[in-house]
Amino acid sequence: MRRPGFFIIAVVLVLILLAGCSGGKENTTINNTTGDVSDDFQGIEFDRNHLLPIGSIVTLKGYFKKVMICGIGTGLVTDESNVFYDYAGCYYPAGVSGAKEYFLFNNDAIDKVYFIGYEDEEGQEYRDIMEDVIKQERKGKRPENMERGG
């Protein structure tokens, strides 16, 4: 026969563990009418004249879900127009399990930066090139040696 004291101790330990897991975001509130999140975290400052590296975690203005940047300088080609966006993103932490889970946005849509992604010399060079490509595309000029996919 099992001892009832062992069962009580096990239940108390589980409750203590669960109570410890719930203490992370006590200051976060969700306004159900707008979907906005307000918390004490002000975000990491970044230069809006430059792109963030792939892997950066952000929230967008008017949304509370975190987004991971998974593409830079993404073009959207339709029958009516060809538009370059600063970023392609996916929801964090879920990531991407299908092509329809990407969405496109620009630097000015970013509300807060929670994490700046890893970047080495190669990543910085690529980011610099893509910043130039996006600027030229927005001016209506295609940079040399740049072909539009299709």
Is 108 contained in some domain? yes
Is 71 contained in some domain? yes
pLDDT on residue 65? 93
Cα separation, 111 vs 60, whole angstroms: 5
Domain that holds residue 131: 29-138
Averaged pLDDT in 10-residue chunks for the chain of 150 residues: 55 45 34 44 86 95 93 73 84 82 89 95 93 83 49
Cα separation, 63 vs 71, whole angstroms: 20
Is 95 contained in some domain? yes
Is 143 contained in some domain? no
Tokens, residue 44? 């990491």
Would you put residue 107 in left (φ > 0), alpha (ψ -120 to 50) or beta?
A: alpha
Is 147 contained in some domain? no
For the chain, the domain total comes to: 1
pLDDT on residue 79? 61
| Closest CA relative to residue 82, chosen from 138, 14, 128 | 138
Is 150 contained in some domain? no
| H-only helix segments in 1-150 | 4-21, 121-138
